[in-house]
Amino acid sequence: MLDRAASEIAQDAATRPVRFRGAGFVPASSRLGGWIALALVIALWQAAGSAGLVNPLFLPAPLAIARAIYQLAISGALWQHVSASLLRIGVGWVLGTAAGVAVGFAIGLSRLARSVGITFISALFPIPKIALLPLLILWLGIGEEPKIATIALGVFFSTAISVYSGVDAVPRNLIRMAQSFNVPFATIVRKVIWPGALPAILAGFRITASVALLLVVSAEMIGAQYGIGAFVLQAGNLMQTDQLLAGVVILSVFGLAVGKVIGWLEVKLLHWR
């Protein structure tokens, strides 16, 4: 049976040359493809709006949204909103990430931290942060603190999870080899575990940056007068759908920008791959 199969394969190979097949999947991202798709969708959307196929109340046309953003920009309110939100997102994300990386490494490296940490993270991660808003207001008031805390909390859990998964995924034989050469613990962490876990950590950053953007809307439910989230909420409350979508577009632009920055970071920090 086996002999025959082998001989058949040998025969095939002899008679029919096969091109190299095992190139793997390499989804190269084309520079233009994404933009063309985006432009097409926007053009279609504008055409539907201009032709009167869609009620402008239910789906404002891109031009109306652009006009809303333009008006916001010339009134100067846009910068106030953007800077207020960026400050909250920035500080919240940095705090959440710093705590998340520290806890994630602790869980990945220490038995005690692992048994305690994973239990708490599993128990607390699924709590919707919005449900905690009244409590956050009682604890922290209505200033910047509860807004930053909302974002930091959301970022913390995702970061901690992606960091300890990254640490777990570092090949054990590399660590063992370093240990056999009597490399000190701190150096192993710095030279073996940190670079090994970095791809997973950066992938985690991609997610947490988006989480921070998502949470800015909930965070600014707490008595914010300025901020993109507050602007979106107000537009929703007032049924000003063009302004609502203008706020959403600004949030997406944030998202794109953050994606670019992390892409650049990956290239810089992971050039050894």
How far, in whole angstroms, is CA 9 from its chain's centroid?
48
* Nearest approach, Cβ of residue 54 and other proteins (Å): 13
Q: In this complex, which beta carbon is closest to other proteins, that of residue 202 or of residue 221?
A: 221
For position 238 contacting other proteins by CB under 8 A, the verdict is yes
Give the three-class secondary structure for 229. Answer: helix
Among 71, 165, 210, 234, binds other proteins (CB under 8 A): 234
First to last CA, the chain: 43
- List, in order, residues 6 or more apart from 234 with CB less than 8 Å away: none
For position 53 contacting other proteins by CB under 8 A, the verdict is no
Q: In this complex, which beta carbon is closest to other proteins, that of residue 184 or of residue 223?
A: 223
For position 132 contacting other proteins by CB under 8 A, the verdict is no
- Compute the distance between CA of residue 59 and CA of residue 74 in angstroms, rounded to an integer: 24
* Nearest approach, Cβ of residue 244 and other proteins (Å): 11
x/- string (CB under 8 A) for other proteins, residues 159-198?
----------------------------------------
How many degrees, rounded to 5, is the angle at CA 37 between CA 31 and CA 39? Answer: 100
How far, in whole angstroms, is CA 19 from its chain's centroid?
40
**Token output for 64:** 């109306």
For position 137 contacting other proteins by CB under 8 A, the verdict is yes
* Nearest approach, Cβ of residue 224 and other proteins (Å): 8
Per rule CB under 8 A, count of chain residues that contact other proteins: 24
- Compute the distance between CA of residue 100 and CA of residue 125 in angstroms, rounded to an integer: 12
What is the total residue count of the chain? 273
- List, in order, residues 6 or more apart from 255 with CB less than 8 Å away: 209, 210, 213
Query: Which region among 21-29, 92-100, 216-224, 248-256 touches other proteins (by CB under 8 A)?
Result: 216-224
Query: Which region among 195-203, 236-244, 247-255, 264-272 touches other proteins (by CB under 8 A)?
Result: 236-244
Binding residues (CB under 8 A) for other proteins: these are: 55, 57-58, 133-135, 137-139, 141-143, 221-225, 230, 233-234, 237-240
